[in-house]
Amino acid sequence: MSMELATCLTTDLVAITRGRSFPADALDGYLRRGTGWVPANMALTPFDVIAEDNPWGSAGDLRLLPEEATRIRLPQLGRTPLHIYFSDITELDGTPWECCPRTLLKRAIARLKAETGLTLLASFEHEFQVLGGGWPAAPAFSLAAMRRADPFGPELLELMEQAGLEPEMFLPEYGADQFEVTMRPADPLTAADRSVALRLLVKELAAQKGWRASFAPKTAPDAVGNGVHIHLSLRDEDGRPAMRDESRPGALSERAGQFCAGIVRHMPGLLALTAPSPVSYLRLQPHHWSAAYACLGERNREAGLRICPIATLGGGDAAKQMNVEYRATDATANAYLALAALINAGLAGLREGLVQPPLVNTDPSEFSPAELEALGVRRLPENLSAALAAMQADALLTEWLPPLLTGCLLSVKRKEMQLAGELDAARLCERYKAIY
């Protein structure tokens, strides 16, 4: 017999989910008072080496306060039930800790609503590889690729259903042993919680079978990239779809066009939060269907921001389906901060009434420099230090982040770059493959 534990979770700057467990039958007290937490935990690199020049050092204490409604309990996963709560980091008196990523997302959502009346629906789409299955090779997108992993797909979707993740689809992707999972759109906080939960579920299910799942942006220099695509769809004051206007370019409503313009304008600096690891830049290359350019495209998989297709067959409601997909992100990004950053960038576009960017509906890497310039399309930063510099140069991106957190991010990322800098591309991919 063993005691059942429940765990409070938080996800940090390097997108690692950490937490503390307590006896599940003592939940009531922990729901009110949380567990202890340490500020300098935020300064860990993915390699478990701390950035020494972080703002806190050995000082300070915080609480990890679980949110009851986020409970996931899966008895059949692992040897004892997986029982988790997404949590906010607070001060000892319960006031929110200014650097808590989940709290920062809540603030971004509230700000969008307060300034514009708009709300957002979001969904994270994940690609990952299941390694160690020892399967024979199978063609991309094939039934054989899916069935050889059976019952991984059905079991995963069953777990997701039980965990309230509202699974939509499981599919074999283009890369070797690569799969993709999609979930129904939800409010942004729920969508980010689901993104974290999905990664935990996939990894634990694969481990239970003696395999290993990796969401790393690249698991080998020549491997197909594992992307995370964030789908976004605005709703108006009455909760009605607010994205579509068939009279306008790309059928984007005026407000959706402004929101997209904000994201495209800030995309170079956004990368510091959405593609925040050295290995992210092996994926963000032209011709990879990832996102090498800051532009808006209609149904173009090389655009950083893509207007997704509308399927009108079977009575599909176009206004409801209308959404854009931010493609320049991956699993080394904190889902809460990535989404909060996108919301703040989109909000700037709405606030300033920015003009919708031109639609780039073919691969931007095939344009000449002069054509790119005429369209106002920029190549995105090609490495992490360029992305960090772009973020620091972008007042909007640093304005909503507490200076303490910006400072910590820079320290962590510099340390990560220093440690990663010792590795060639193959070993870099190996390291991130094992961690993510």
| Chain residues that interact with ligand GLU, rule: CB under 6 A | 127, 224-225, 227, 283, 289-290, 301, 327
What are the residue ranges of helices labelled H in 228-313?
254-274, 280-283
305 to each of 218, 346, 357, 426, how far by Cα in Å? Answer: 21, 12, 11, 29
Torsion, Cα 245 231 225 370, to 10 degrees, reads 40
Residue 73 interacts, among ligand GLU, Mg ion, none and using kind-specific CB cut-offs from 5 to 8 Å, with none
Of 180 and 330, nearer to Mg ion (C-beta) is 180
CB of 127 to Mg ion, least distance (A): 5
Question: Which position has the token pair 């980010």?
Answer: 192
Say how far apart CA 346 and CA 245 lie, in whole Å: 18
Q: CB nearest ligand GLU: which residue?
A: 227
Of 321 and 406, nearer to Mg ion (C-beta) is 321
CB of 365 to Mg ion, least distance (A): 19
CB of 225 to ligand GLU, least distance (A): 3
Residue 289 interacts, among Mg ion, ligand GLU, none and using kind-specific CB cut-offs from 5 to 8 Å, with ligand GLU
CB of 280 to ligand GLU, least distance (A): 10
Of 127 and 193, nearer to Mg ion (C-beta) is 127
Backbone angles phi, psi at 234, to 5 degrees: -80, 145
| Cβ-based neighbour number of residue 122 at 10 Å | 26
CB of 99 to ligand GLU, least distance (A): 29
Of 55 and 185, nearer to ligand GLU (C-beta) is 185
Binding flags for Mg ion, 123-162, as an x/- string (CB under 5 A): ----------------------------------------
Of 5 and 131, nearer to Mg ion (C-beta) is 131
Of 127 and 394, nearer to ligand GLU (C-beta) is 127
12 binds Mg ion (CB under 5 A): no
Of 231 and 283, nearer to ligand GLU (C-beta) is 283
CB of 309 to ligand GLU, least distance (A): 12
Say how far apart CA 154 and CA 167 lie, in whole Å: 11
CB of 308 to Mg ion, least distance (A): 12
- Strands (DSSP E) contained in 46-156 are 62-66, 72-74, 82-90, 119-131
Say how far apart CA 406 and CA 327 lie, in whole Å: 23
Binding flags for Mg ion, 161-180, as an x/- string (CB under 5 A): -------------------x
Of 62 and 275, nearer to ligand GLU (C-beta) is 275
CB of 333 to ligand GLU, least distance (A): 13
Say how far apart CA 83 and CA 349 lie, in whole Å: 40
Say how far apart CA 163 and CA 270 lie, in whole Å: 31
DSSP 219: S
CB 213 within 8 A of CB 202: yes
Size of the site for Mg ion (CB under 5 A): 1
Return the closest-CA partner of residue 164 out of 127, 193, 199: 193
DSSP 40: G
Binding interface with Mg ion (CB under 5 A): 180
